[in-house]
């Protein structure tokens, strides 16, 4: 049966190896991959280090400019110009290293490109940088040009999970998409199945569970 424009897929119970947790300290900025034009590696590392050092040294972040860049990036994202959108989100993250908004977009950028491990990594990073980010009122679907655009990427993720049902990162990303678009019941089912006490703690999964009112049985 088709529900809400999607074909539901069974969520299997699975046991996998431990997810990779983010390292301590300020998070690294997102590398959008080879299809997005970014500065050379050395320049990119220097830019990341500059943003991190600014946060560590207590320098005041340029929140206004960062917010402007996010707005510009959103317009580019809606126009499917992911290359330029990614550049703006990166700039915003450098100017305000501990802000959640640029990283929320970087999650979506990885999601639409099918980079589910990177999207999961960014979910863990934003949960470390800004623990209260899930309380920010925001519907992530609003940055897409048309609802069908979001639906297409969800369908691709679900197809990936049909082929790779033990991909914990991809399941986390799917749960995050449901949660961030208000489909919290569907998200909770995924989070509960991922919440295996035999696995190492996952800061992003814990954040979603804490904010969805779900709790795995003892």
Judge residue 97's burial from the number of C-beta atoms within 10 Å of its C-beta, 0-12 exposed, 13-18 middle, 19 or more buried. buried
What are the structural domain ranges in the chain?
Answer: 41-212
In the prediction, which pLDDT does 101 show? 92
Q: Is the dihedral of CA 92, 94, 95, 97 positive or negative?
A: positive
Query: Residue 3's beta-bridge partner residues?
Result: 6
Q: Quick: pLDDT tens for 48-63.
A: 444 455 555 556 789 9
Confidence class of residue 8 from pLDDT cuts 50, 70 and 90?
Answer: low
The winner for highest mean pLDDT among 9-23, 139-153, 173-187 is: 173-187
Burial 147-176 (b: 16+ CB within 10 A, else e): eebbeebbeebeebbeeeeebbbbbbbbbb
Q: Over the chain, what is the mean pLDDT?
A: 79
Tell me the whole-structure pTM to 2 decimals: 0.71
pLDDT at 29: 45
Q: Percent of the chain beyond pLDDT 90?
A: 55
> For residue range 69-96, what is the model confidence (pLDDT) as tens digits?
999 999 999 999 999 999 999 999 999 9
**What is the per-residue burial (b if ≥16 Cβ within 10 Å, else e) of 179-217?**
bbbeebebbbebbbbbbbeeeeebbbbebbbebbebeee
Residue position matching structure tokens 């800061």: 203
Distance between CA atoms of 111 and 121, rounded to whole angstroms? 11
* CATH 1.20.1050.10 holds for 41-212: no
Q: pLDDT-based confidence at 9, cuts 50/70/90? A: low
Query: Quick one: average pLDDT of 205-210?
Result: 93
Mean pLDDT of 16-30: 44
Determine the average pLDDT of the residues in 113-133: 94
Task: Give the range among 25-29, 53-57, 124-128, 183-187 with minimum mean pLDDT.
Answer: 25-29
- Please list the residues that pair with 149 across neighbouring strands: none
Q: Phi and psi dihedrals of 125, rounded to 5?
A: -65, -50
pLDDT on residue 31: 42
For 99, the 3-state DSSP assignment is coil
Q: 218 vs 97, which has greater pLDDT?
A: 97
């Amino acid at each position: 049966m088709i529900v809400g424009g999607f074909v539901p897929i069974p969520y299997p119970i699975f046991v996998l190896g431990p997810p990779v947790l983010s390292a301590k300290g300020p998070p690294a900025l997102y590398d959008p991959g080879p299809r997005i034009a970014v500065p050379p590696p050395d320049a990119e590392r220097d830019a990341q280090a500059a943003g991190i050092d600014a946060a560590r040294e207590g320098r005041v972040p340029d929140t206004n400019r960062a917010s402007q860049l996010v707005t510009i990036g959103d317009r580019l994202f809606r126009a499917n110009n992911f290359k330029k959108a990614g550049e703006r989100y990166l700039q915003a993250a450098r100017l305000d290293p501990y802000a959640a908004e640029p990283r929320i977009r970087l999650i979506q950028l990885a999601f639409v490109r099918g980079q589910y491990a990177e999207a999961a990594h960014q979910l863990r990073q934003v949960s470390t940088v800004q623990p209260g980010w899930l309380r920010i009122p925001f519907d992530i679907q609003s940055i897409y040009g048309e609802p069908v655009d979001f639906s297409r990427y969800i369908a691709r993720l679900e197809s990936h999970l049909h082929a790779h049902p033990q991909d914990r990162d991809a399941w986390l990303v799917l749960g995050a998409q449901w949660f961030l678009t208000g489909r919290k019941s569907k998200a909770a089912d995924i989070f509960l199945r991922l919440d295996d006490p035999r696995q190492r703690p996952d800061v992003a999964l814990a954040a979603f569970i804490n904010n969805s009112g779900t709790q795995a049985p003892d």
